[in-house]
């Protein structure tokens, strides 16, 4: 299957999932992993309809949280704060940008991931460009039902190091 067909397939699977319960499950799986590693500067994301909501981490794991913001063809890093409407119907932070080097962890949403950490996104490449430029640890976030054996890859695709699902956190690859 090509990426376009896989996106259609993934959206269909997402529509049949209990995203709220799965989001809670991923938060529960992430908490001991985060505590063990002591991450302090975490790029979260404001969930789109076909993404898991990890914002309960804000109350359950003490850290400095940031959100991505579309800036041209890339993503800026902004401290978590008030949200305003941005491009593509996204809510984005209204706080001033900071350098991505402050991050020690990036939580990456995706329509699907493969077992090697490659991501099926929405096709615009924002996260791939961002991940190629950041030194932080990376965790792909998706339901177990959307961890696929292997996704098609392009030369610019950047894999994540870990995968977090409702069943736990594991190293990719």
Domain limits at 54?
Answer: 3-171
pLDDT tens digits, one per residue of 85-105: 877 667 889 999 999 999 999
The β-bridge relationship of strands 41-43 and 64-71 is parallel
How many domains does the chain fold into?
1
**What's the pTM value of the predicted model, to 2 decimals?**
0.94
Q: What is the pLDDT of residue 100?
A: 95
CATH for 22 = 3.40.50.10420
Q: What is the pLDDT of residue 88?
A: 66
- Where the chain has pLDDT below 70, the residues are 88-89
The β-bridge relationship of strands 168-171 and 41-43 is unpaired
Q: Are 75 and 113 in contact (CB under 8 A)?
A: no
DSSP β-bridge partners for residue 69 = 76
Q: 78-86: long-range contacts at Cβ-Cβ below 8 A with a sequence spacing of 24 or more?
A: 80/44, 83/46
* Rounded Cα gap, residues 87 and 32, in angstroms: 35
């Amino acid at each position: 299957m090509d990426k376009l067909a896989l996106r259609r397939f993934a959206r269909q699977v997402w529509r049949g999932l209990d995203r709220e319960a799965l989001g809670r499950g991923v938060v529960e799986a992430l908490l001991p992993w985060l505590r063990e590693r002591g991450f302090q500067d975490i790029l979260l994301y404001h969930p789109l309809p076909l993404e898991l909501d990890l914002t309960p981490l804000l109350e359950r794991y003490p850290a400095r949280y940031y959100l991505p913001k579309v800036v041209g063809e890339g993503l800026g890093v902004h401290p978590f704060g008030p949200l305003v409407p941005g491009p593509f119907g996204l809510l984005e932070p209204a706080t001033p940008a900071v350098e991505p080097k402050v991050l020690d962890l990036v939580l990456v949403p995706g329509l699907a991931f493969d077992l090697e950490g490659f991501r099926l996104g929405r096709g615009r490449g924002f996260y791939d460009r961002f991940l190629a430029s950041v030194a932080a640890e990376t965790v792909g976030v998706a339901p177990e039902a959307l961890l696929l054996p292997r996704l098609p890859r392009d030369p610019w695709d950047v894999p994540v190091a870990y995968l977090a699902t409702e069943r736990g956190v594991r190293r990719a690859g």
